[in-house]
Amino acid sequence: MERIVILGLKRNNGSVPEESIRILETVGSWMDRNNRAIYGAEKCQVRRSNYANFTRKGNILYVHAHFWPGSTLTVAGLTTPVKSARLLASGARVNVFQDRFRVRFTGLPETAPDSPVTVIAAECASEPKQDTDFVRKERKRI
């Protein structure tokens, strides 16, 4: 309850609004499924995406998809080879296709399998690195 007071969610009469309780329960449930992408993870060099943020732990890149793109999620400029990938919450395998310009995670559900953010755990051959300048310079435009 102390943290609720610190967060300013507790009313003057000591009660906590139902909406605040619902939000805290949603966050707690999400953390139960996805805590590996948060606890012990750190900011990483991979940063650019239209619909995701990233953390890493060792050679594992955690792709935090805030906006679900459908059956394929693409990360441009990932230069580190991706060995395998899974949906973090369920452990379901994700297909990985990579070329020198991008990595594509395919075979994903059309709608986000987790809410409010779906996390893909991608095992990389080494520390994940991204070079989007290379993609802009070298990729042919049609």
pLDDT in tens, 62-81: 999 999 999 999 998 899 99
Query: φ, ψ for residue 68 (rounded to 5)?
Result: -80, 125
The pLDDT of 113-133, averaged and rounded, is 92
Kindly report the CATH class assigned to 40-138. Answer: mainly beta
Domain borders along the chain are 2-34, 40-138
Phi/psi-derived region of residue 116, left when phi > 0, alpha when psi is between -120 and 50, beta in every other case: alpha
Q: What is the pTM of this model?
A: 0.84
User: Which residue would you say has higher pLDDT here, 62 or 130?
Assistant: 62
The pLDDT of 114-138, averaged and rounded, is 86
User: Which residue would you say has higher pLDDT here, 80 or 21?
Assistant: 80
